[in-house]
Chain A
Amino acid sequence: GENVEQHPSTLSVQEGDSAVIKCTYSDSASNYFPWYKQELGKGPQLIIDIRSNVGEKKDQRIAVTLNKTAKHFSLHITETQPEDSAVYFCAASNNYQLIWGAGTKLIIKP
């Protein structure tokens, strides 16, 4: 079955700098890769997603890249702000069921 690994588990960056979170997946049939942001005590919120027919997608300060050959995808956040502090989860899917990464706690230092 599919397995998703996410790194790092914790990431601390200075406000204004960029943050990059990486995920790898094992099932080459996976074709949908969402990223979710979860704040403390709340449900996950979809922030961006990408499908296997696209290599990169951008939405303002957030971008996701996908390398199908290497089976990895990354989340890039530029010009980080205090409100970006949260736990970020990647996931992969090929049959409508999401397989989740372990999460990355992003800390934005003022």
Chain B
Amino acid sequence: GAVVSQHPSRVICKSGTSVKIECRSLDFQATTMFWYRQFPKKSLMLMATSNEGSKATYEQGVEKDKFLINHASLTLSTLTVTSAHPEDSSFYICSARDDNSGIHQETQYFGPGTRLLVL
């Protein structure tokens, strides 16, 4: 149980284009999902908290118009990197919390990540 998928696993795009990354909870409902960015040999950096049916909460320094988040259902959140530039190249990872896990609700289950390369 508690499986999270991400699609695509890797993407290469040209500078100036937009890229959408999907995060799905496969066997549980997730009102709350998180989007992280990870640089090589570094820890995870929280970008935003995605809440189903409401606006995402962005961390300080993360541009909400640059990184668009939509959480339209209890099993799907999307991150769109708009007008991507080479500095946006990174490993993007999502996580989800299981709404029905009771006292274990703070546990985050992670997707496999998406490697983005902007040329």
Task: Name A residues whose Cβ lies closer than 8 Å to a Cβ of B.
Answer: 32, 34, 36, 41-46, 49, 89, 93, 96-98, 100-103
Is there a chain A Cβ closer than 8 Å to B108's Cβ? yes
Give the size category of B's interface with A.
Answer: 20 to 34
Q: How far is the CB of A10 from chain B (nearest CB, A)?
A: 10
CB contacts (< 8 Å) of B8 on chain A: these are none
B110 partner, pick from A45, A93, A97, A101, beta carbons under 8 A:
A45
A-B pairs, top 8 by smallest CB distance, nearest first, are A43-B110, A43-B113, A43-B112, A100-B43, A44-B110, A32-B106, A43-B93, A96-B106
Q: How far is the CB of B29 from chain A (nearest CB, A)?
A: 16
Q: How far is the CB of B113 from chain A (nearest CB, A)?
A: 5
Is there a chain A Cβ closer than 8 Å to B72's Cβ? no
Q: Which residue of B lies closest to A45 (CB)?
A: B110
Is there a chain A Cβ closer than 8 Å to B26's Cβ? no
CB contacts (< 8 Å) of B105 on chain A: these are 96
Q: How far is the CB of B26 from chain A (nearest CB, A)?
A: 14
Q: Which residue of A lies closest to B110 (CB)?
A: A43
CB contacts (< 8 Å) of A46 on chain B: these are 107-110
CA distance A97 to B4 in the complex (A): 18
B43 partner, pick from A34, A41, A102, beta carbons under 8 A:
A102
CB contacts (< 8 Å) of B112 on chain A: these are 42-43
CB contacts (< 8 Å) of B115 on chain A: these are 41
Contact with A along B70-91 (1 / 0, CB 8 A): 0000000000000000000000
CB contacts (< 8 Å) of B110 on chain A: these are 36, 43-46
Q: How far is the CB of A7 from chain B (nearest CB, A)?
A: 13
Q: How far is the CB of A6 from chain B (nearest CB, A)?
A: 9
Is there a chain A Cβ closer than 8 Å to B37's Cβ? no
Is there a chain A Cβ closer than 8 Å to B46's Cβ? yes
